[in-house]
Amino acid sequence: MSRKLMILICCVLCQCMLSGAFQPVCAAAESSADVTVYFPNWSVYSDAYGQVKDLPWDRLDCINHAFWKIEPSENGFGIVSTDPWADTDASNPKAHFPQYAKYAEIYPDVNILLSVGGWTDCGYFSQMALTPENRASFIQSCMDTLDSYPFLSGIDIDWEYPGVPRSGGAGDEGNPVVGDDKANYTLLLQELREALDAHYGAGSKLLTVCASASRGTLSRQDYSALQPYVDRINLMTYDLAGSWNMYTGHQSPLYGSASADSAVEYLLSCGVPAEKIAIGSPLYSHGWKMYRINAELTGAAARPMSDGDLLWKELVLLEQTAVTSDNPGWHIGYDEKAEAAYLWNDDPASHDHLAFFTYDSTRSLSAKLDYIERRGLGGLIVWQVHGDSAEAGWPMITLMHDSLHE
């Protein structure tokens, strides 16, 4: 049932109740779809990003703490924080983990997962997954960490991506492939799932994974084989277009050849249950400078913008200054076929002349939320939570929560 139909039915029922013609006998069942946000540990260095205590806990189902990483150890491989001072140092009054411990008691229904990996910290995944001994050492380190921090609800494996070799650079480990990642990734998840269930009880700890929205990348992993071992597959349905492209495009379209829908359809074709699939919403933009304004705003030749990655709370301010089509300035665009939002500027006197931003607006987000409900998906993931406006009451997070928990 779509949200629009739901609203219509609610209106009819309200009229019936007001007239006395009908009395409800029970509350409607709540949706099982979740709102999962990523909270990066580098937030500690920016007052604008806030702390764990400042999160909208009453509107979240899951927090993925980003990131911990894999490092070689005497016994094989272990996981460590990418920033111990930010995460666990007792001398840091803003340290994240002491705050998690406190708020996990206040909001026990919010799951807090430790996200291991991330784009720049995947250098040891393939080597770790290569042998049973290496996997066992990694799994033991995960268990030791969960034992040390009982507020953690489980592990999120953010390997970007198994079977997809990528060289790194300054501050980026890349993703070297040293074995059969496709098979070893499944073995890793199977063994980790079995260890979690044996130690904590079946289903007591969550195991989730991130995944690309590209079918070409998804085919490098075996989702038919691995899906029984995970609770959720988080499709990163964003960054599908950006300044690395020579043409403007949608970074997070719902429909199209490379989109949330195409990624969902691929996983469904692999036998993944719909309720194990989550799609993503970016609370930031990618941007370009177009060479000229023409009818084809998406697909226009363009060059990168040094300031093209804005947070949603900055983009909504641009929306508020938007003008009608007859006046120069910022314009709000929407691709109804792709269900994707964009902004562009055609004011020759403006510093932003020829700028083009691709992002999720309230309209495109609502389309995704309708899609999640209609397809029976497991929910929505958000990179990252602080793209929303805490000052305005977290409007995007609130929309997500209210829509998925009608």
The rounded distance, in Å, linking the Cα atoms of 338 and 361 is: 13
Give SS3 for 302.
strand
- Surface-to-core class of residue 150, CB atoms within 10 Å of its CB (0-12 exposed, 13-18 middle, 19+ buried): exposed
Mean pLDDT (the chain) is: 92
Residue 138 maps to a domain: yes
Residue 23 maps to a domain: no
Contact 116, 82 (CB under 8 A): no
Provide the pLDDT for residue 112.
98
Number of domains in the chain: 1
Residue 40 reports pLDDT greater than 80: yes
Residue 26 reports pLDDT greater than 70: no
Residue 356 maps to a domain: no
Residue 372 maps to a domain: yes
Provide the pLDDT for residue 295.
87
pLDDT digits (tens, 9 = 90+) for 68-100: 999 999 999 999 999 999 999 999 999 999 999
Residue 320 maps to a domain: no
Provide the pLDDT for residue 32.
75
Residue 73 maps to a domain: yes
Buried b (16+ CB within 10 A) or exposed e, 65-85: bbbbbbeeeeebbbbebbbee
- Surface-to-core class of residue 3, CB atoms within 10 Å of its CB (0-12 exposed, 13-18 middle, 19+ buried): middle
The rounded distance, in Å, linking the Cα atoms of 252 and 241 is: 8
For 192, half-sphere exposure in the C-beta direction (CA atoms, 13 angstrom radius) is: 33
Tokens representing residue 240 in the block: 């599908």
For 183, half-sphere exposure in the C-beta direction (CA atoms, 13 angstrom radius) is: 6
The rounded distance, in Å, linking the Cα atoms of 139 and 188 is: 8
For tokens 């496709």, what's the residue? 182
**Cα angle, residue 134 at apex, residues 133 and 135 outer, rounded to 5°:** 90
Residue 168 maps to a domain: yes
For 276, half-sphere exposure in the C-beta direction (CA atoms, 13 angstrom radius) is: 23
Contact 96, 112 (CB under 8 A): no
Tokens representing residue 380 in the block: 């929505």
Provide the pLDDT for residue 325.
84
Measured in whole angstroms, how far is the alpha carbon of residue 367 from the centre of its chain? 16
The rounded distance, in Å, linking the Cα atoms of 396 and 399 is: 5
- Residue 321, Cβ neighbours under 10 Å: how many? 10
pLDDT digits (tens, 9 = 90+) for 201-231: 999 999 999 999 999 999 999 999 999 999 9
The rounded distance, in Å, linking the Cα atoms of 51 and 36 is: 17
Host domain of residue 207: 32-283+362-404
Q: What's the whole-number mean pLDDT along residues 242-250?
A: 97
Residue 89 maps to a domain: yes
Q: CATH code at 136?
A: 3.20.20.80
- Pairing outcome for strands 379-383 and 277-282: parallel
Residue 106 reports pLDDT greater than 90: yes
